[in-house]
Structure 1
């Protein structure tokens, strides 16, 4: 049984660790490459974008946000994930193809298109047109040589704001893509710093929903989480795995290259009365967009 807190590692860390365990059990330990030190990431983060630049970016984005964005009224972000329920679905092939075609036509990433769609869900379920939610950044894109083989915590969760105010769909998609591109330059900023740049007074959370766009290998498609069949050692039966966050509402978009899946987690219960009241306050313009 393996238990790992996100304070010390992310999914890539799990993959690196499992590959090393497999090498040791198969007698290939001497062939393992020297460990890559995590301190390289620390140096990269400290020598990169300054805290002043981070603060200026997030203050411009969040300064006028003075209320938490809490879909379905879910605001407790300090739990441990227990009591949450999970659902997984693969999208129909036709829908997967349409989404990828639209992203190519608009010249944006599929992740940007999915962020805008999630922003619509967050806005409609929270009664706000300025939707703020957390997005998970990979953290290894600009972390230096050997980052793909380093164990440790590289991912970061940062807020993204989308203004869903009647702007046309294509313009909204491109604006979302531009905002995510800007956010990548600040991928190692402190979440606490970002939250302080908003008008939401502590200890209230800035947001209660999370989106994690994940690039997975095709071997992981059946399980959609945890370790795929390629990671199972000969003679060992894989029983399963689970991942939890302390956010009350999370959605992972599972991109398998040629297929798309969704993994949703939500704390229980969601009050149907509160949900109906929140969504009924939205403008009918949503149906025309």
Structure 2
């Protein structure tokens, strides 16, 4: 990192101080600074939006965004709401500016010319970049359950079956994207279209007469067969619901849909609308589902954000010599299989979560940057290089498009993140660099991965990477332990096959969770458990001492990996000794010899 001398020019090309310096000046008194009320229309607007999104009673123009509880997840919603109310800014401006004073000074009016009128949902429409990739794997010889998402939970309470079914059908009818099918025959490009009058398949099974052990076995079989059934993409519908009555006030619910039509953000919106409709129906009112902006309205604006032929990816990967892979050989002929993937998770201790928040407040480093950086470092230890590539999953919802955060559809995309590390760099400088790389990728979030791999020329049909990191970047409306419309939700599970042998997830919160879904034919559970443990150690060490050299952090991670491997070997030795002892006792008993003789 270059040093700034006293006589260097401290202004940007427009003569303005960099946003993070302005933010520092605005926070000279720290979090205890006296409340300063908004003075301009832009400041009043942003302060109101921050109050709404962050759930705080009052926001002054010098209050720090991170100290108020903001993060990159909230930033998408803040920017989208500002856009809808005539104030244009980018998420990076919000994260860098950090105060209403600074952000409002850099905001601009929404550009004229964007047509917010709904487009006709009739006819055929092109697929997004990620939809094209999913379709390729889903129909290219793969088993029927590829890219099938299965959400299951237990509902405890007095479930009104008729109202519950009607609520689901009302939401299904209200959102054209849920009635989407895909066609691709005859050599033509794949297209998606909405089918009018399509009904959502709903079924009720009664398992109340079964023994508890039989119920569990039957439900496990139901989940497996439901995944394997898959969907007929050309005829639809591409979602269905199964409700299983297990006791008088206890039901299991299985909502299954194809990933082509919904992302994780949309999943939460659908669930919110369903339970809102159910609550109204139980009160004797019409379901009245929300009128949400149709996904198809955004296809043309999303394509407009793609910048083809500018050579960005070729430059970014110009001197990369190899792809980054950590798993064993993949499926034959590129086939994506659908056996239920094991999931393992680890809770990040609360003190580490607090330190992450402190790091964001002090330096503007997001949790996403820390998690991606830590995984890049572990990839380097696993593959023996300081230059790695892994996949980053992006929301794909440009905040400048009005209503985009309230739309239901498949916006998400996965793109490559290249992280080059220097052992002599400080961890803080490295985290800033990774965050800048993430920002660059977000600016390209609608580019097609297949086009990128062709430009780079290293994938050779197997991809630039075989691991992806998902930082949950959508507002969560319903979760395990919640009570909604008189029903308690627990035993919540989401099963999805993304086509990668290792998917790492980070769920933020007061006690964040690291989660791994993996292909156990290519990675064994002890290895994945070790990856999560070492990743947690690396994150903790990075945020606890961001001033240390990267070489020191790598040494900490390496030592943690060695401990994990030794723990695995000891567990194997203990298991073998136990089995040997059991075998000896059985043998002695079998030939009638006194074991104490």
Q: Does 1:96 align with 2:353?
A: yes
Q: Does 1:57 align with 2:57?
A: no
1:24, distance to aligned residue in structure 2 (A): 2.8
Question: Which one of the candidate residues 312, 324, 328 is aligned to 1:69?
Answer: 324
SS in 2 for 1:243: strand
1:60, distance to aligned residue in structure 2 (A): 1.4
Question: Which one of the candidate residues 333, 339, 342 is aligned to 1:85?
Answer: 342
Which residue in the other structure is 2:511 paired with?
259
Q: Does 1:246 align with 2:504?
A: no
Distance in 2 separating the partners of 1:236 and 1:92: 27
CA RMSD in angstroms, aligned pairs only: 2.9
Q: Does 1:7 align with 2:260?
A: yes
SS in 1 for 2:436: helix
1:104, distance to aligned residue in structure 2 (A): 3.2
Matches within 5 A, 1:106-125: 106-125=363-382
TM-score by length of structure 2 reads 0.42
Moved more, 75-84 or 105-114: 75-84
Which residue in the other structure is 2:166 paired with?
none
Q: Does 1:197 align with 2:465?
A: no
SS in 2 for 1:95: helix
Which residue in the other structure is 1:36 paired with?
293
Distance in 2 separating the partners of 1:70 and 1:252: 18
Relative distance call for 1:78 and 1:115 in structure 2 (3 A) is farther
SS in 2 for 1:52: coil
Question: Which one of the candidate residues 187, 190, 214 is aligned to 2:472?
Answer: 214
Relative distance call for 1:266 and 1:36 in structure 2 (3 A) is same
Distance in 1 separating the partners of 2:329 and 2:431: 27
Relative distance call for 1:236 and 1:175 in structure 2 (3 A) is closer
Distance in 1 separating the partners of 2:481 and 2:491: 11
Moved more, 38-47 or 60-69: 60-69
Distance in 2 separating the partners of 1:250 and 1:111: 15
Distance in 1 separating the partners of 2:359 and 2:391: 24
- Asked whether the 8 Å contact 2:399–2:405 carries over to 1, the reply is no
Relative distance call for 1:173 and 1:74 in structure 2 (3 A) is farther
Moved more, 132-141 or 60-69: 60-69
- Asked whether the 8 Å contact 2:379–2:388 carries over to 1, the reply is yes
- Asked whether the 8 Å contact 2:323–2:459 carries over to 1, the reply is no
- Asked whether the 8 Å contact 1:123–1:164 carries over to 2, the reply is no
Relative distance call for 1:108 and 1:185 in structure 2 (3 A) is same
- Asked whether the 8 Å contact 1:68–1:200 carries over to 2, the reply is yes
Q: Deviations 1:146-174 (Å, cap 9, x if unpaired)?
A: 21221110111110000124241222111
Distance in 2 separating the partners of 1:151 and 1:69: 33
Relative distance call for 1:98 and 1:237 in structure 2 (3 A) is closer
Relative distance call for 1:15 and 1:64 in structure 2 (3 A) is same
Matches within 5 A, 1:105-144: 105-142=362-399, 144=401
Relative distance call for 1:46 and 1:75 in structure 2 (3 A) is same
SS in 2 for 1:212: strand
Which residue in the other structure is 2:428 paired with?
170
SS in 1 for 2:372: helix
Unaligned runs of 5+ in 2: 1-253, 529-550, 558-597
- Asked whether the 8 Å contact 2:453–2:464 carries over to 1, the reply is yes
- Asked whether the 8 Å contact 2:482–2:488 carries over to 1, the reply is no
TM-score by length of structure 1 reads 0.82
Distance in 2 separating the partners of 1:230 and 1:208: 35
SS in 2 for 1:4: strand
- Asked whether the 8 Å contact 2:273–2:290 carries over to 1, the reply is no
SS in 1 for 2:486: coil
SS in 2 for 1:259: coil
Q: Deviations 1:89-112 (Å, cap 9, x if unpaired)?
A: 211111212233234333321211
Distance in 1 separating the partners of 2:338 and 2:486: 32
Q: Deviations 1:42-80 (Å, cap 9, x if unpaired)?
A: 122122242224xx2211112333422112446557534
Distance in 1 separating the partners of 2:371 and 2:488: 36
Q: Deviations 1:197-252 (Å, cap 9, x if unpaired)?
A: 223143122100000011466876xxxxxx44447443476543223222111110
- Asked whether the 8 Å contact 2:469–2:505 carries over to 1, the reply is yes
Question: Which one of the candidate residues 421, 426, 441 is aligned to 1:183?
Answer: 441
Larger of the two Rg values belongs to structure: 2
Relative distance call for 1:232 and 1:243 in structure 2 (3 A) is farther
- Asked whether the 8 Å contact 1:96–1:259 carries over to 2, the reply is yes
Distance in 2 separating the partners of 1:36 and 1:124: 45
